[in-house]
């Protein structure tokens, strides 16, 4: 297929474009930043550019991964998030319908599921970790989350009104940068990313694979929203113990992790405040991440690395 990939110069785009090409797709990349995978330099907020790109490229499918992200909150006004994340998504959906695009995949975020109450965690008096599925009602805590949730609603609306097959992927963390709260986290960046594979992270390679699967499955699915994150080893009954003593819970599932971590000088988080459940994606989308905490720990056990794949 001829696929328009927005965000083609970003971390996801750099992994996804080659994967799509290897599968036989022709990728037309759109991004404000030039790169080897970007065909057209520009913004999705430019409706005329979006219209011309879809028409001139004879686009058959759209993967919309371009966005302003959470780290941009400190540097951009709320209007910028609305222009890019909401109006930009609307531009793509409207032109996709007008020009007969066959399928649409939208990169959303699990970040929109985290309210201020959940973010406060144990310090805010929470007695148990939150077990998060697609059924929960989000109350985003910042303009980034609000803009992505609004874009999800536009995706649903365009499917309902026009029949456009749309798959929404709420991806967990896969960015390579250090946590934006790294100044209050005592673990190193590699240690932090390894811990997060237990409940809210995936590798960028798995994120790219999820998008390729969604592209293939979109017509059969019609519309749905999926959490995409490494499968957690936990069950909902673990939630009370996770908020109070995460190391003990992790050791129950992985008895040798303390010794492996000690060799590296690593530690587990004292508390885990939420767990993303990707089981809906496994059942209906047919996608499961290849790399989780178990696989990462096996690599550490064998002395093969410290990150279980690209974060």
At 126-180, the pLDDT tens digits run: 789 999 999 999 999 899 999 999 999 999 999 999 999 999 999 999 998 887 7
Neighbouring C-alpha atoms within 13 Å toward the C-beta of 88: 27
Stretch 286-296: mean pLDDT: 98
| Structure token digits, residue 193 | 């990313």
| Structure token digits, residue 209 | 């694979």
CA distance 182 to 185: 5
Virtual CA dihedral for 272, 274, 279, 282, nearest 10 degrees? Answer: -80
| Structure token digits, residue 30 | 């759109």
Q: Is residue 227 classed as helix, strand or coil in its secondary structure?
A: strand
Q: Is residue 168 classed as helix, strand or coil in its secondary structure?
A: strand
CA distance 250 to 270: 11
Confidence check: pLDDT of 73 > 70: no
pLDDT at 74: 66
- Provide the angle, in degrees to the nearest 10, between the axes of the packed helices 293-301 and 189-196: 130
Backbone angles phi, psi at 284, to 5 degrees: -100, -40
DSSP tag of 42: -
Q: How confident is the model at residue 310 (pLDDT cuts 50, 70, 90)?
A: very low
Confidence check: pLDDT of 116 > 90: no
Confidence check: pLDDT of 119 > 50: yes
Mark 288-297 as b/e (b = at least 16 C-beta within 10 Å).
bbebbbebbb
Confidence check: pLDDT of 120 > 50: yes
- Mean of the per-residue pLDDT values of the chain: 93
Yes or no: say if 201 and 193 are a contact pair by the CB < 8 Å rule. Answer: yes
- What is the chain's percent helix, strand, coil content, to nearest 5? 50, 15, 35
Angle, CA of 289, 189 and 252, to the nearest 5°: 60
Yes or no: say if 49 and 42 are a contact pair by the CB < 8 Å rule. Answer: yes
End-to-end CA gap in the chain: 28
């Amino acid at each position: 297929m001829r696929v328009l990939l927005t965000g083609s110069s970003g971390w996801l785009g750099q992994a996804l474009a080659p994967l799509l090409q290897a599968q036989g797709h022709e990728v037309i990349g759109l991004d404000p930043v030039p790169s080897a995978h970007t065909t057209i330099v520009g913004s999705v907020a430019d409706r005329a550019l979006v219209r011309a790109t879809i028409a001139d490229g004879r686009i058959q499918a759209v993967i919309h991964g371009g966005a302003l992200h959470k780290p941009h909150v400190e540097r951009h006004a709320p209007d910028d998030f609305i222009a890019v994340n909401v109006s930009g998504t609307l531009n793509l959906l409207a032109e996709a319908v007008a020009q007969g695009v066959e399928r649409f995949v939208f990169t959303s975020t699990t970040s929109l599921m985290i309210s201020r109450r959940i973010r406060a965690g144990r310090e805010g008096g929470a007695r148990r970790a939150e077990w998060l599925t697609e059924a929960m009602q989000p109350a985003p805590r910042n303009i980034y989350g609000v803009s992505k949730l609004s874009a999800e609603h536009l995706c649903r609306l365009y499917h309902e009104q026009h029949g456009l097959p749309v798959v929404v992927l709420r991806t967990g963390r896969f960015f390579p940068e250090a946590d934006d709260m790294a100044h209050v986290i005592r673990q190193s960046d590699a240690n932090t990313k390894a811990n997060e594979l237990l409940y809210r992270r995936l590798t960028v390679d798995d994120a790219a694979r999820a998008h390729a699967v969604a592209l293939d499955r979109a017509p059969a699915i019609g519309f749905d929203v999926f959490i995409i994150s490494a499968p957690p080893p936990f069950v909902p009954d673990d939630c009370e113990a996770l908020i109070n003593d995460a190391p003990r819970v992790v050791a129950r599932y992985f008895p040798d992790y303390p010794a492996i971590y000690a060799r590296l000088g690593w530690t587990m988080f004292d508390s885990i405040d939420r767990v993303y459940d990707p089981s809906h994606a496994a059942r209906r989308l047919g996608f499961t991440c290849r790399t989780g905490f178990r696989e990462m720990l096996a690599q550490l056990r064998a002395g093969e690395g410290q990150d279980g794949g690209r974060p």
